[in-house]
Amino acid sequence: MAYKILVLKGDGIGPEVVGEALQALKVVARRDAVDIEFREAPIGGHAIDAYGKPLPDATLAAARDCDAILLGAVGGPKWDNPKAEMRPEQALLGLRKELGLFANVRPVKSVKEFLPASPLRPDIVNGVDLVVIRELTGGIYYGKPSERRSGADGREAVDTCYYSESEIERVLRYGFELARERRKKLTSVDKANVLSTSRLWREIATEVAARYPDVKCDHQLVDSMAMHLIRRPRDFDVIVTENMFGDILTDEASVLAGSMGLLPSASLGEELNGAGYRIGLYEPIHGSAPDIAGRDEANPLAAILSAALLLEHSLGMRAEAELITQAVEGVVRDGYRTRDLGGGAGVKVVGCKAMGRLVRERIESLEPEA
Ligand SMILES: NC(=O)c1ccc[n+]([C@@H]2O[C@H](COP(=O)([O-])OP(=O)(O)OC[C@H]3O[C@@H](n4cnc5c(N)ncnc54)[C@H](O)[C@@H]3O)[C@@H](O)[C@H]2O)c1
């Protein structure tokens, strides 16, 4: 039976970077004789223009009927009016909610070649290899009431942070499963000294930890975690936290890699058929970069690495995922860079298409790991 992958190229540089990621996937599928059916659908600003909404019904239906989704980015100045009824970003919230994508997974690995580009000292970031898991469909971004109103004191506003036991438990369980396959360390981040939701979070984290005695679990308050993450990032393996804390910590963690252009992400839902693989949405962490769209300058590596995450988490093809990662690392080691990654001695600056081609050639030259 063929795997079904939905490709949502989106706006700005989305089509350029996803185009290269798609071709990398096709090379892997061809060389390992894996049957993958690729479908495409509109999303974001272009979908607003053509269909009157950022997540057309047909796109959502196609997303429900696939094993995984590869996304570029959405948005751009044309659709930036904050008062507009429809905004491209609504498509992402809609997909997350409709597909139950509750765990946002962002691996951050420092790359030796980019250590000098990091604002942090090389001795701090060298060897960083961590994953931040952010709860994605609950918490203060979704709680009701969330509104502005008039009160006795004039204008006031309220947002509500709500978490249920099952929402907290499933994302922590996913974190422990992942930690088990890595260095067996999990840091649960909360604000248990102040918030009720965080006290429940810590209570459940402690209960789930008891079911994973082989994983070392510790708890950090989010404010001190923000400091530890840049002071001693090598000490962390898997970090799990709620939606808003994760939103902030994932951006902070992205600095550790030296370049945003290398960071993929996965948003995962429940297991498919109990087989360990999950429906997932895979995308680079960068946006649609309208300033360089259509100029063949975009860096496709984060999108290509997102395709590697897709193979690993939704198709269970770890060796093939590793092949793509190794190919990207090899090309970077050989000195090839897109403009955003910076120049320097021995560096060869190439465009988006050439970078994609170099990665494909590298994939074809590598033997998959057993
Ligand atoms: N998940 C998403 O779809 C997503 C995420 C963030 C921003 N956005 C949207 O993207 C648009 C632009 O947002 P922004 O400027 O704040 O962030 P951005 O990430 O698009 O761009 C920030 C800077 O980084 C550069 N850049 C980003 N990705 C690059 C790549 N792959 N290669 C080379 N350079 C790259 C851009 O040229 C720009 O100078 C906005 O409409 C925003 O809403 C979408």
Q: What is the DSSP string of 257-284?
A: GS-GGG-EEEEEEEEETTTTEEEEEEEE
Please name the residue whose Cα sits nearest to atom 25 of ligand 1: 289
- What's the average model confidence in pLDDT over 337-345? 85
Q: What is the pLDDT of residue 275?
A: 65
Q: What is the pLDDT of residue 172?
A: 98
- Would you call 66 helix, strand, or coil by DSSP? coil
Asked whether the bond before 145 is cis by omega within 30 degrees of 0, the reply is yes
Least confident of 110-124, 296-310, 320-334, 350-364: 110-124
Active site residue 247: yes
Pocket mutation for ligand 1, best pick of 86, 288, 301 (most atoms within 8 Å of C-beta): 288
* Paired tokens of 370: 């057993």
| Angle between the N-to-C axes of helices 57-64 and 90-99, in degrees from 0 to 180, rounded to the nearest 10 | 40
39 burial via Cβ count (<10 Å: 0-12, 13-18, 19+): middle
Does 97 have pLDDT greater than 60? Answer: yes
Does 368 have pLDDT greater than 70? Answer: no
Least confident of 31-40, 54-63, 161-170, 202-211: 31-40
List 32, 49, 251, 291, catalytic entry? 251
Does 344 have pLDDT greater than 90? Answer: no
CA distance 133 to 79: 30
What would the pLDDT profile of 291-333 be if each residue is shown by its tens digit?
999 999 999 999 999 999 999 999 989 999 999 999 999 999 9
Does 84 have pLDDT greater than 90? Answer: no
What would the pLDDT profile of 196-239 be if each residue is shown by its tens digit?
999 999 999 999 999 999 999 999 999 999 999 999 999 999 99
What would the pLDDT profile of 237-274 be if each residue is shown by its tens digit?
999 999 999 999 998 998 888 777 889 999 999 886 66
CA distance 61 to 335: 42
Cβ-contact 55, 91 below 8 angstroms: yes
Q: What is the pLDDT of residue 118?
A: 81
Domains along the chain with CATH numbers: 1-104+267-370 (3.40.718.10), 119-257 (3.40.718.10)
Q: What is the pLDDT of residue 198?
A: 98
Closest by CA to 268, choosing from 317, 306, 212, 325, is: 306
Name the percent of the chain lying above pLDDT 90. 84
Q: What is the pLDDT of residue 289?
A: 95
Does 17 have pLDDT greater than 80? Answer: yes
DSSP letter at 347?
A: -
* Paired tokens of 57: 């019904």
Any idea which residue has 């691996």 for tokens?
Answer: 107
Does 58 have pLDDT greater than 90? Answer: yes
DSSP assignment of 17-45, as one string? HHHHHHHHHHHHHHHTT--EEEEE---TH
Any idea which residue has 């530890």 for tokens?
Answer: 228
Active site residue 141: yes
Pocket of ligand 1 from Cβ distances under 6 Å:
13, 17, 73-76, 89, 92, 261, 283, 286-292, 298-299, 338, 340
Which numbered atom of ligand 1 lies nearest the CA of 79? 41
Distance from Cα 12 to the centre of ligand 1, integer Å: 9
227 burial via Cβ count (<10 Å: 0-12, 13-18, 19+): exposed
The secondary structure element, H or E, covering residue 130 is strand 129-135
CA distance 178 to 312: 12
Does 173 have pLDDT greater than 90? Answer: yes
Q: What is the pLDDT of residue 360?
A: 97
What pLDDT band is residue 369 in, cutting at 50, 70 and 90?
low
Pocket mutation for ligand 1, best pick of 11, 136, 267, 286 (most atoms within 8 Å of C-beta): 286
Q: What is the pLDDT of residue 345?
A: 79
Name the percent of the chain lying above pLDDT 70. 98
Does 65 have pLDDT greater than 60? Answer: yes
Distance from Cα 251 to the centre of ligand 1, integer Å: 13
Distance from Cα 75 to the centre of ligand 1, integer Å: 9
Does 370 have pLDDT greater than 80? Answer: no
Cβ-contact 321, 110 below 8 angstroms: no
Distance from Cα 261 to the centre of ligand 1, integer Å: 10
Q: What is the pLDDT of residue 274?
A: 63
Cβ-contact 354, 297 below 8 angstroms: no
- What's the average model confidence in pLDDT over 31-57? 95
Does 82 have pLDDT greater than 60? Answer: yes
- What's the average model confidence in pLDDT over 103-121? 88
Does 359 have pLDDT greater than 70? Answer: yes
φ/ψ of 249, rounded to 5, equals -65, -30
CA distance 31 to 312: 17
Distance from Cα 236 to the centre of ligand 1, integer Å: 27
Active site residue 191: yes
Assign residue 44 a region (left: φ > 0; alpha: ψ between -120 and 50; beta: otherwise): left
Q: Which residue has the higher pLDDT, 122 or 277?
A: 122
322 burial via Cβ count (<10 Å: 0-12, 13-18, 19+): middle
- What's the average model confidence in pLDDT over 126-142? 95
**Mean pLDDT of all residues belonging to the chain:** 93
Active site residue 291: no
